[in-house]
Structures are given as structure tokens and as C-alpha cells.
Chain A
Amino acid sequence: MTVAVFFGCTFIAFGPAVALFVFTIARDPLRVIFLIAGAFFWLVSLLLSSLVWFITVQISNKNSATQQTGLLIFGVVLSVLLQEAFRYGYYRLLKKANEGLLALSQEDTMPISIRQLAYVSGLGFGFMSGAFSVVNILSDSLGPGTVGIHGDPQHYFISSAFMTLAIILLHMFWGVVFFESCERQRWWALGAVVISHLVVSCVTFVNPHYQGSLIPTYIILSIMAAWAYLCAGGSLRNLKLCLTCKDKDFLLANHRPR
């Protein structure tokens, strides 16, 4: 507990995402706006799914624990499906806005490409999802207490932090793959994204057994990372050039006069 755990878990959960934000998004106001709009869309999807869950809970038997757990599982699945639906809705909105802008400007270039929008909106979804999952837990970790004193799992905080990290990055990769598959009309890819999201959420149902949930999640994370990298136009060759500092941008940057 206390400050060390708080800072540790915060940095684990949000470190990479905040780094991505600071280095790639913070400089461009348009991207920041689309990030916040993405967060807003995720929030609306959460609201709708909570509404449905709340209604089902009210009309159900509050005393039966199994029924409540069942309803919660239903809530999770519904929420995942709604999130993906809202991701699709955001995609349509962005396409319309871009088309409108393109028509107005009569230019070929848009100020922000659909791929950048995919990345930014995915990260927006991720930020909001991660924040809602973990911020209350983090604020509790600041205070006094002993984790697991009643026999609950002792690694609650750190496993939450790692899970949140995975979810945020996954949302970003899902965003990229989703938009790309919508652009190319590859509906199987869309289905794969939705199914992988469902798998990641359902795998958390085994949760105090963290090896059962964290490991598959991270495997899916690496697969999605590779897939998103390929969708964004990367390839092994690009990677090699980048890592050995031989890519075009780096070379151009080095020749720029001081």
C-alpha cells in the first residue's frame, strides 16, 4: 500500500500510454481533440451498457449471488459489443467529417489521415477504458490497508495495473486494425477484432488466477501489436532500417543544418 505502490501501479498502467500521448499526440491540437472525442464515445458506450445492466439488475433477484454474477457477465459481453459498435460509429462519423472537409477544401490532402485518426481514436478509447478501470483502485492504494487480509488475492494492485496496461495498448491496436479493415472492407478482420476483445474480457472471468488471465491477454496483445504494425504499413524491412538508423526520416533529419 501507500505511495510506493500508488506510483508503481500508476506508472505501470499509464506509462506507455502517456509516453505515446506526449511524443506523438500532444503537439498536434487536432489529434488531441480527436483523442478526447474518442474518449467521449467510449464513455457513451459505457453509459448505455451500464443502463441496460442496471435495469436488468433492478428486475432481478438481488439475493441470488449466482444470478448477479450471471448478470454481470452479461453486462461485460454487452459492454464489449457496444464498445465495438461505438468504435464503428466513430469511424463513420470521422469518415463523414473527413469527406465534408475534403469537399470543402478541394484539396487532395486532409489535415489528418484516416490512419492517424485510427491510432488516435484507439488511444482515446484506451485511455478512458484504462482510467475507468483503474483510477479508483489507485486512489485506494494510497491509503492505509493490507491487501488480501481476508484471504483475497494479494497481487490485486499490480495485476490490475498490468491488465490496464494491456487493455490500453490493446484498444489502440484494435483501433488501428478496425479502421483499416473498415477501409478495406475486410469484414473478417473486423470480426477478429471483436472476437479478440471478447476473449480478453472473458478471460478475466477467471481472475484471481492471474496466470489464466494475464498470459492470454499478453499473447493477444503481441499478436494485435504485430497485426496493427502490418496494417499501419510496417514491415520487417522497415523495422530493420529503423533499428539500424538507416531509414529515410532519420537520414534526412541528420542532414538538416543546425
Chain B
Amino acid sequence: MRLLQLWAFGFCHLLFMNTSDSEEDSYNERSALVQCESPTIPSYNQDHDMSLPQETDTKRRRPVSSGLDEPGPVERERASTPDGEEEELTLKYGAKHVIMLFIPVTLCMVVVVATIKSVSFYTEKTSQRLIYTPFEEDPNSVGQRLLNSLLNTMVMISVIVVMTIILVVLYKYRCYKFIHGWLILSSLMLLFWFSFMYLGEVFKTYNVAMDYPTLVMIIWNFGVVGMICIHWKGPLRLQQAYLIVISALMALIFIKYLPEWSAWVILGAISIYDLIAVLCPKGPLRMLVETAQERNEPIFPALIYSSAMVWMVGMADSSNPDSADERQRNEGGALAQEGVESEDDATQGGRRRYSAEEDLEEDRGVKLGLGDFIFYSVLVGKAATTGGDWNTTLACFVAILIGLCLTLLLLAIFKKALPALPISITFGLVFYFSTDNLVRPFMDSLAAHQYYI
């Protein structure tokens, strides 16, 4: 990892071509940067070594979400400054990282809620089910329905566990090509097929007449640029936008195809699984993290949303040290149409980007697995599905953000990879059920009389 970075910094001036900055300026800045870099590199690497254990991301199989990368390295690099300033800066950077995650999570939820409220396709109940939730929910009998949803959850979770274990095994035996191929296939499906479906439904809703050649052109461009941004190189903002869009698409598919009660039970079960998988010593995700640390490799930079920040004055972008071969992918995800089985996929694309500033400040940003985005959006989307009540949606939204804030706080305290799902999903579920059943009648009565509290 250290060598990779040295190499990267040495060659960074070649890489600026891939960014969207104006070439001349960044070239000058970069060549200046390379020289200034040399004295700082030893300390950078020393810090990097120390922070390596924390820097790892946890794996994400789509459904499994994962861990957060801590904003940790920031604290270490500040050893030279006085303590008080360090704490204050830590707090400020910590707050900045929290906001850097609030914004994409909010955007993803906004996209999902806007779609659910306007395009009726995703809320229409259909008899098609995912192959992973084979038991049908019978609305007539409560006990039977509960039992079926529990069985569905067990099937889904076992599928996820099996997939994660296969992934860990593949990773252990270095079958990188297989993992790559798998991931590329899943992102292909998401970027082309699901977005085609989505666009079709949006056009139907707004009664827009569209011809096939235009549509093919749009989808082709969207898909190809997406594949390039996610799996190779691209401007950071565009890559982040694509990750948000594919998380939203995946969440919409889940909202459509998961039966009512099963969805809620699955949300609960998956946060428990996330907790176990990331924290237990024999959990698959933890084993993945440790294997990657032993090999000194970046763990699965794909399938993570990364919000790296650049601190250089005048520089808008950073060097890109990852090379395509080093990147490993994750996947996960399930989709079936009319009983046809298809590959699991989850697309997560991501890449680690960071840069160093002249005065030793470096911010690798903070990373969140795409599975987290997906499940947060599923929760808020399902809250939005219930009738016309916006209060429930708002309550779930605030609950999830607060959960994320608390998780990041814990991350700053414990400084190791943490599961991002449990706290947020717990808060979200509690607030969903209580707002839907308790607050809604209260607020409705108040609004009917126009009383204000």
C-alpha cells in the first residue's frame, strides 16, 4: 500500500489528464506539488501505516452494508499541533465528514421518495416476487403472514450469508478476475436494464412520447459513462452521482418486489447481521478486512461511496493511486423477474481518492458502503409508500440521519470499521412504527381542528 502511494505520487502528474481540471493549471500545481511532496512523504507514510487498520473499508455485498471508514487519519496527522487545537480541528473535521455523508444519503432518499410519490409503478403491488422471498404473504391471516415473512427473511439472510462467504473464499484464494467479472456484470445490469425500466416508467407517468433511437442513445451514454466512472476513472462528483443513482435504483427495486411485512423484518434482520458480520471475530466481513490488511491491499474499494476531500488551494482534484488491477469488487444483490433467476448483483463502485496538502493535512474523506445507502432508502421509501402521510417519511429521515451521526461519533471514538446499519435502521424502524400509529392520528386531529402545538 505504501509503495503504491509513492508510485502514485510520483506519477500523479500523468494522472491529471483523467480529471476534469484545466490541464495547464493543474499541471503546474502538480509538478510543484510533487517536489513539495518529497519531504512530507515519510511522515505521510508513517501516518498511513498507523492508520491502515482503520482505513479499511468493510465489505459490502449489497445487502450487507458495512462499515464505515473512519475519518481517523486526520487525528494522527495532527500530532505536531497543540492538543487543544487538535481537538477542535478534530471536532470540525468530524462534523465535516458527517455532513459529507448526510448530503449523499439525503440525495439518495430524496430521489427514492420523489420517485415513489410520482411514479406509481414502484408502489403497485405485483404478484411477481424475488426468488429470494418465495413465500407469499396472505393478507387474510395475520399469523400465516407473520410466519411467511419470517421464512422469507430467513431465506434472504441465508442467501446473503452464503454470498458473503463465497466472496470471502474467492478473495482468500485470490480469484480477483472472477470477482471483477461478477461486479462488472452486476453494474451492467443496474446501469442499463434498471435505468431503462426506470426511464420507461417515468415516461409513462408523465405521458412523454419517446422514440427508440433517442432512448437507446440516452441509455447507452448513461450506461457507458457510468461504467467508466464507477469501474475506472472519472470526476469525483460524477462518480458520486452515479453511485447515488444506482443505490436509488436498487432501493426502488427492493421496494417494489419485497412483500410488505417481509421488507420490515428483512430490514431488522439485516442490521443484526451487519452488526454480527462486522464486529464478531469470525464474522465474514471482519475476516475480509483482516485478510486485506495482511496482504496490505486496499480492500474492495468498489461498492463504497467515498467522499474524499481535497485541501489544496487551487487544486480541484486529487491523484488517483489505485490501479485497476488492484481494485476488488464486491457485489451482492438479488433480482428476479417472473421467477427467472439472475445473478446476484449489487453494484457498488468506488474508488479511493485522496490527496495531501503541503502543510501535512490530509483528509481521506469518509466512506460508506452502498448497501447502507440502499437500505436507508428502502426504509424511507417504504415509509413514503404508506398513503399520503409525509410526517412518517420526515420522521424516518431525521431518525436515519441522527443514527448516522451517532455511528460516525462512535467511529471517531473507536477508530475501527463499524457497521453503519444497526443504529440508523433501529431508529428508523422505531420512528416509522410509532409515527405511523401514534403521531399520525394525533396530527390529523390537530390539523382537522387547526390546532397548533
Are A207 and B451 closer than 8 Å at their CB atoms?
A: yes
Distance between Cα atoms of A75 and B91 in the complex (Å): 40
Judged by a CB distance under 8 angstroms, whether A249 is at the interface is: no
Q: In the bound complex, do residue B96 and residue A76 qualify as a contact, i.e. CB atoms below 8 Å apart?
A: no
Q: Knowing A47-B434, A47-B435, A167-B452 touch, does A29 contact B390 (C-beta < 8 A)?
A: no
A72 contacts chain B at the CB level, 8 A cutoff: yes
- Apart from A79-B453, A107-B87, A133-B453, what are 7 other A-B pairs with CB-CB below 8 Å? A37-B402, A40-B399, A47-B439, A50-B434, A72-B446, A136-B390, A136-B443
The B interface, classified by DSSP as helix, strand, loop or mixed, is helix
In the complex, whether A220 has a CB less than 8 A from a CB of chain B is no
In the complex formed, the residue of B with least CB distance to A71 is B445
Assess A128 versus B398: contact at CB under 8 Å? Given A32-B99, A53-B442, A111-B88. Answer: yes
Interface residues of chain B, those whose CB is within 8 Å of chain A, are 83-85, 87-88, 91-92, 95-96, 98-99, 102, 388-391, 394-395, 398-399, 401-402, 405, 431, 434-435, 437-439, 441-447, 449-453
Shortest B85–chain A CB gap in Å is 7
Determine whether the beta carbon of B451 is less than 8 Å from that of A163. no
Q: Does A43 contact B (CB under 8 A)?
A: yes
* Residues from chain B with Cβ under 8 Å of A53 in the complex: 442
Residues on the B chain within 8 Å of A83, using CB: 453
A residues contacting B by CB (< 8 A) are 29-30, 32-33, 36-37, 39-40, 43, 46-47, 49-51, 53-54, 57, 68-69, 72-73, 75-76, 79-80, 83, 101, 104-107, 109, 111, 128-129, 131-133, 135-137, 139-140, 156, 159-160, 163-164, 167, 200-201, 204-205, 207-208
Known: A29-B98, A36-B401, A101-B91. A47 touches B438 (CB 8 A): yes
Contact assessment for B405 and A36 in the assembled complex, using a CB-CB cutoff below 8 Å? yes
C-alpha gap A79/B98 in the complex (Å)? 31
Given contacts A33-B95, A36-B405, A47-B435, contact A106 B453 (CB under 8 A): no
CB–CB A207/B449 < 8 A: yes
Distance in angstroms from A134 CB to nearest chain B CB is: 9
A69 to B84, CA, bound (A): 56
Bound Cα distance A236, B390 (Å): 42
Q: Which chain B residues lie closer than 8 Å to A50 at the CB level? A: 434, 438-439, 441-443
Known contacts A29-B96, A29-B98, A43-B398, A160 near B450 by CB under 8 Å: yes
**What residues of chain A lie closer than 8 Å to B434, measured between beta carbons?**
47, 50-51
Q: A33-B99, A136-B389 are in contact. Are A204 and B452 (CB under 8 A)?
A: yes
Contacts of A160 in B (CB 8 A): 450
Minimum CB distance partner of A73 in chain B? B451
Q: A32-B102, A36-B398, A136-B391 are in contact. Are A72 and B449 (CB under 8 A)?
A: yes
* A77 vs B88: C-alpha distance when bound (angstroms): 41
The CA of A207 and the CA of B85, in the complex, are separated in Å by 54
A43, B99: Cβ atoms closer than 8 Å: no
Sample 27 A-B pairs with CB under 8 A, ordered by A number.
A29-B96, A32-B99, A33-B99, A33-B405, A36-B102, A39-B398, A43-B431, A47-B434, A47-B438, A50-B434, A51-B434, A69-B449, A73-B451, A75-B442, A76-B451, A79-B453, A105-B87, A106-B83, A107-B84, A107-B85, A129-B453, A133-B447, A140-B388, A160-B450, A201-B451, A204-B451, A205-B451
Q: Which residue of the partner chain, among A32, A72, A164, contacts B451 with CB atoms under 8 Å?
A: A72
| Residue on A nearest B435 in the bound complex, by CB | A47
Cβ–Cβ contact B88 & A105, under 8 A: yes
Query: Which DSSP category, helix, strand, loop or mixed, fits chain A's interface?
Result: helix
A40 CA to B400 CA in the complex, in Å? 10
Note all chain A residues with C-beta closer than 8 A to B399.
40, 43
**How far, in angstroms, from A39 to B449 measured CA to CA in the complex?**
24
Please name the residue on chain A nearest to B409 by beta carbon.
A33
Closest to B452 in A: A204
CB contacts (< 8 Å) of A33 on chain B: these are 95, 98-99, 405
- Contacts of A136 on B, CB cut-off 8 Å? 388-391, 443-444, 447
Chain B hits for A105, CB < 8 A: 83-84, 87-88
Q: Are A51 and B438 in contact (CB under 8 A)?
A: yes
Identify the interface centre among B85, B389, B402: most chain A CB within 10 Å of its CB. Answer: B402
Question: Top 8 nearest A-B pairs by Cβ distance?
Answer: A107-B84, A29-B95, A105-B87, A29-B99, A207-B450, A50-B442, A105-B84, A50-B438
Q: State how many angstroms separate the Cβ of B138 from the closest Cβ of chain A.
A: 28
Query: Within the assembled complex, what's the spacing in Å between the Cα atoms of A37 and B401?
Result: 9
Given the complex, which residues of A lie within 8 Å of B92, measured CB to CB? 29-30, 111
Residues of A within 8 A of B444 (CB): 136
Which B residue's beta carbon lies closest to that of A134? B447
Q: Quick check: B447 and A137 within 8 Å, CB to CB? A: yes
* Distance, CA A21 to CA B99, complexed state (A): 15
- Residue of B388, B442, B452 contacting most chain A CB atoms (<10 Å): B452
